[in-house]
Amino acid sequence: MSEDDGDLIPVVLVKQYIFCPRIVYFSEVLGLKERETELMYEGRDMQWAEDRRDRRRKRVPGTGLEARGAKHGVLYVSRRLGLAGVVDLVVDEGGVAVVERKAAKRPKRVHRNHLYQLAAYALLVEEATGKPVMRAYIHYLKSGDIVEVTLTDEAKRHVLWIVRQIKSIIWEERLPPYSEKPACKSCGYRWICRQL
Ligand code: SF4
């Protein structure tokens, strides 16, 4: 992205907004960085290793999709959507599919923030390719599961609503109200959140 792309919202921020809107304020208004944990380092290593394996594979595991010709880690940017993001894997074979990797075990239910992260990637890829994204998957690296996710038009519209909420937090420098939630236990901004 260039300097002119300062108004674009990274897709990871959409994911974080759903985790907790206060994180948008801490990272984008105060410019604070999340406290990194051993798990995060381990997760990054797993993603790199999987990316190398993906580039050698003939098929994307668990999907039946042909891997040759797939795009790995490509940055998609859309001024119209106000979004930008790097998609782990895009396959264009009899319909476009996107794959997102998570360095985690498969949960009982796909997390909401991951679902909307995929919906945001789908919007970007649809605009870039001019084709609808027909399938979306999350690859849980720690358990080896690949789960297909249904992306509705409503989910995609909700992404655009979230983008507007994120921009308003940033432009108005507005700290969303605090509310204790289970996510607080694993939040990398807990140290600052409790002070404000
Ligand atoms: S500690 Fe809880 S309320 Fe504060 S930013 Fe994190 S998730 Fe949000």
Residues 30-86 have pLDDT tens digits of 999 877 777 777 878 888 888 888 788 777 777 878 777 889 999 999 999 999 999
Q: Is residue 53 one of the residues assigned to a domain?
A: yes
Percent of residues, the chain, with pLDDT higher than 70: 96
Average pLDDT, the chain: 89
What pLDDT digit, counting tens, does each position of 2-43 carry?
Answer: 444 558 999 999 999 999 999 999 999 999 987 777 777 787
Mean pLDDT throughout 92-116? 92
Ligand 1 atom closest to Cα of 183? Answer: 7
Q: For position 94, what pLDDT does the model report? A: 77
| Residue 178 Cβ contacting ligand 1 at under 6 Å | yes
Q: Is residue 23 one of the residues assigned to a domain?
A: yes
162 CA to middle of ligand 1, Å?
18
Q: For position 6, what pLDDT does the model report? A: 58
Q: What is the CATH number of the domain that holds 115?
A: 3.90.320.10
Structural domain including 41 reads 3-172
* DSSP output for the chain: --GGGGGPEEHHHHHHHHH-THHHIIIIIS---PPP-HHHHHHHHHHHHHHHHHHH-SEETTTTEE-TT-EEEEEEEETTTTEEEEEEEEEESSSEEEEEEESSPPPSS--HHHHHHHHHHHHHHHHHHSS-EEEEEEEETTTTEEEEE---HHHHHHHHHHHHHHHHHHHHT--PPP---GGGGG-TTHHHHTT-
19 CA to middle of ligand 1, Å?
8
The number of distinct structural domains making up the chain is 1
Q: Is residue 37 one of the residues assigned to a domain?
A: yes
Q: Is residue 195 one of the residues assigned to a domain?
A: no
Ligand 1 atom closest to Cα of 22? Answer: 5
**pTM for the predicted model, two decimal places:** 0.89
| Residue 24 Cβ contacting ligand 1 at under 6 Å | no
pLDDT higher than 60, residue 92: yes
Q: For position 153, what pLDDT does the model report? A: 93
Q: Is residue 185 one of the residues assigned to a domain?
A: no
Show the tokens assigned to 150.
Answer: 């249904």
For atom 4 of ligand 1, which residue has the closest CA?
Answer: 193
Q: Is residue 46 one of the residues assigned to a domain?
A: yes
Q: Is residue 192 one of the residues assigned to a domain?
A: no
